């Protein structure tokens, strides 16, 4: 029973590919017809050769020889056409299958929530999306076809061997178990080792992705040697795992080739004695021998194909693990529609996954009226950014309720909910595309050049854009490497303006900028905030003096609330922060003067 269950588990990943392979049944049927035709043509060759030897050489009539050889050329022609058709159809199936799998896996990854990416490495996900799908393409587009072709050849050759000489064929019965047993036994080992090699390669890819993205930091810290050494270790581990997998495959191939061709030699020996004794015609022995060679070659190819299929099973298993991942944040079966309105946190408690004993928010309660500008300040770790993550449903609180327009946001589709928010983060993500692509990124509508230019002008970004070669079609490099911090911020503001969401979330939007850039960005933010409900996270208190209200947080709770003037008068935490910042600012100004 345990063995059967183990076998089912080993085959299960490949069965998961069937819905993708059979999406176009007509293509599969055409490939199968071509496959059968090619196999039948191959199996016809020994019969034609037997007739040539047995009949064509028996007389002096050249026309008979010509006729038999013309028939053989016809069979070869059919074989060539069928083989070409098989290659075309099967390769097309492989490409189409992998394209569909890549789309589904990528779509699944895009819907993973923050909890998954808190623990996973993006490089490993990319490895699965590229290397593993390439392995599947090779299997579906080539290996599977070769496997089916050789299976048909084995079955057909064995049947024709029995038809040709059942006495010699009886010897094959004793040989088959000797071939099948190591094929199955070693196949499981190959699959296990191949999965381990793929995992080690994914580790190396994940580390390389992370390090390449931070190459300037690595160089600035003179850490090239240590990073290279760590990557070398990962690559060596992947190589060792692959080497063990290759060794198992090589050993399997050696054993099978020895068993198969030793069996042929023994059968040929017995058949040769039968010919000498006059109990078997020479042309029948040649026909039998050709079928035995076909069967042996097909079995030898199956040993290699079996190893490939085991590798593909491991790759499929890894990909299906991704698609089987269930996001913690999901839309309810019947989501409600939420529109702009008052924001309210009611006794919200939250701790990040994996750290339940370290609560970030503790029965947090506050409300924000539509159109109000509210700033959230406090020391690092107070829970400010967590409020944004909960409000946009990247996480759900463990206790309490968050409502928008008096509706629990858990009852809404997260995608619909997030359309209500426009965010300008401290470090905006700029993509490797054009200026226009970055400003319009994420918008569900197609905007004209004038719409994009108008948003850029309102964000005070038009000046530097028009100074660039290509203006709005200028490419900015990966992560916007050609732009300054202030320029990235203004592009993010233009993106938010074009999004035109009713609620604005500003997360330290000016904290990393110099005075001149901050002035430009702050002016753009003032325009963006007009007529919108705005939440601001800020360490620089000078940027929130105009806020309608200021919420002061510490250790996951709101400990003070009011305007800048009223909070300074209270003499609490905000007053101390304000005194430190403004006194320090005055000292810097005096020192500059």
413: left (phi over 0), alpha (psi -120 to 50) or beta: beta
Apex CA 69: angle with CA 64 and CA 74, to 5°? Answer: 125
Q: Stretch 485-513: mean pLDDT, rounded?
A: 79
- Minimum mean pLDDT among 39-48, 71-80, 403-412, 450-459: which range? 39-48
141 has a pLDDT exceeding 60: yes
Q: What confidence tens digit (pLDDT) does each residue in 395-429 have?
A: 888 888 888 888 888 888 888 888 888 888 877 77
Give the span between the Cα atoms of 97 and 71, in whole angstroms.
38
State yes or no: pLDDT of 588 exceeds 50.
no
Q: CA 470 to CA 181: how far, in whole Å? A: 67
Q: Select from 397, 422, 421, 424 the least CA-distant residue to 408.
A: 397
Task: State how far the Cα of 210 lies from the Cα of 127, in Å rounded to an integer.
Answer: 13
The predicted pLDDT at position 53 comes to 67
What is the rounded CA–CA span in Å between residue 468 and residue 18?
51
Residue 25 or 209, more confident: 25
Check pLDDT > 70 for residue 254: yes
* Burial of 264 from C-beta contacts in 10 A (0-12 / 13-18 / 19+): middle
Helical packing angle, 144-164 and 166-213, nearest 10°:
170
Per residue in 330-376, pLDDT (tens digit) is: 777 888 888 888 888 898 888 887 777 788 888 888 888 888 888 88
CB environment 539-568: b (16+ within 10 A), e (fewer):
bbbebbeebebbbbbbebebebebebeebb
Tens of pLDDT along 442-452?
666 667 778 88
DSSP at 412: B
- The reported pLDDT for the residue numbered 591 is 39
Residue 455 has pLDDT above 70, yes or no: yes
pLDDT at 4: 37
Bridge partners of residue 535, in order along the sequence: 374, 505
Among 34-48, 187-201, 242-256, name the one with the lowest average pLDDT: 187-201
Is the confidence at residue 91, as pLDDT, over 70?
yes
Statement: residue 173 has pLDDT above 70: no
Report the pLDDT averaged over residues 501-505.
85
Distance CA 315, CA 259 (A): 30
Please name which of 93, 87, 94, 100 lies closest in space to residue 26, comparing C-alpha atoms: 93
Strand-pair partners of 408: 403
User: Other C-beta atoms within 10 Å of 96: how many?
Assistant: 18
Q: Which among 546, 539, 490 is positioned nearest to 511, based on CA atoms?
A: 539
* pLDDT tops 50 at residue 93: yes
533-537 and 373-377 strand pairing: parallel
Q: Which of 84, 70, 75 is nearest to 42 (CA)?
A: 75
In contact, 509 and 424? CB cutoff 8 Å? yes
């Amino acid at each position: 029973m345990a063995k059967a269950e183990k076998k089912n588990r080993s085959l299960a990943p490949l069965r998961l590919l069937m819905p993708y392979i059979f999406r176009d049944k007509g293509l599969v049927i055409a490939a199968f017809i071509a496959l059968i035709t090619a196999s039948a043509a191959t199996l016809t060759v020994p019969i034609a050769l037997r007739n040539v030897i047995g009949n064509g050489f028996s007389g002096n009539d050249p026309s008979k020889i010509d006729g038999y050889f013309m028939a053989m050329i016809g069979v070869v022609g059919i074989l060539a056409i069928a083989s070409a058709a098989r290659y075309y159809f099967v390769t097309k199936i492989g490409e189409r299958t992998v394209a569909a799998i890549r789309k589904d896996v990528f779509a699944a990854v895009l819907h993973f929530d923050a909890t998954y990416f808190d623990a996973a490495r993006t490089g490993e996900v990319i490895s699965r999306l590229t290397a593993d799908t390439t392995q599947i393409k090779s299997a579906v587009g080539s290996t599977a076809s070769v496997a089916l072709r050789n299976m048909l050849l084995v079955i057909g050759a064995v049947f024709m061997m029995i038809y040709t000489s059942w006495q010699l064929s009886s010897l094959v019965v004793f040989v088959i178990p000797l071939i099948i047993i190591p094929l199955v036994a070693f196949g499981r080992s190959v699959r296990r080792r191949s999965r381990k090699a793929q995992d080690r390669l994914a580790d190396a890819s994940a580390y390389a992705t992370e390090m390449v993205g931070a190459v300037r930091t690595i160089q600035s810290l003179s850490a090239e040697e240590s990073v290279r050494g760590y990557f070398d270790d990962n690559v060596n581990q992947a190589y060792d795992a692959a080497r063990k997998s290759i060794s198992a495959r090589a050993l399997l191939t050696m054993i099978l080739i020895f068993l198969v061709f030793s069996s042929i030699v023994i059968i040929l020996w017995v058949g040769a004695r039968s010919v000498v004794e006059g109990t078997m015609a020479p042309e029948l022995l040649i026909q039998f021998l050709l079928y035995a060679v076909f069967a042996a070659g097909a079995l030898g190819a199956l040993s290699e194909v079996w190893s490939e299929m085991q590798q593909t099973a491991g790759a499929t298993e890894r990909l299906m693990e991704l698609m089987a991942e269930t996001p913690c944040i999901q839309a309810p079966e019947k989501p409600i529609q939420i529109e702009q309105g008052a924001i309210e946190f009611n006794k919200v408690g939250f701790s990040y996954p994996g750290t339940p004993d370290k609560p970030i928010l503790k029965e947090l309660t506050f409300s924000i009226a539509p159109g109000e500008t509210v700033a959230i300040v406090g020391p690092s770790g107070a829970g400010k950014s967590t409020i944004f993550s909960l409000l946009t449903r990247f996480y759900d609180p463990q206790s309490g309720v968050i409502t928008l327009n008096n509706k629990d946001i858990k009852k809404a589709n997260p995608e619909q909910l997030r359309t209500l928010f426009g965010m300008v983060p401290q470090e905006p993500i700029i993509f490797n595309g054009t200026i226009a692509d970055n400003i319009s990124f994420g918008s569900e509508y197609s905007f004209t050049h004038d719409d994009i230019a108008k948003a850029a002008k309102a964000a005070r970004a038009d000046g530097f854009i028009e100074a660039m070669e290509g203006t709005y079609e200028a490419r900015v490099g990966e992560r916007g490497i050609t732009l300054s911090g202030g320029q990235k911020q203004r592009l993010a503001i233009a993106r938010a303006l074009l999004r035109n969401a009713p609620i604005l979330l500003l997360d330290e939007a000016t904290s990393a900028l110099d005075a001149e850039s901050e002035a430009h960005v702050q002016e753009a933010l003032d325009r963006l905030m007009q007529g919108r409900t705005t939440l601001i996270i800020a360490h620089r208190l000078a940027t929130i003096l105009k806020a309608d209200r200021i919420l002061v947080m510490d250790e996951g709770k709101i400990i003070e609330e009011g305007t800048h003037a009223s909070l300074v008068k209270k003499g609490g935490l905000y007053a101390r922060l304000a005194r430190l910042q403004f006194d320090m600012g005055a000292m810097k100004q005096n020192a500059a003067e």
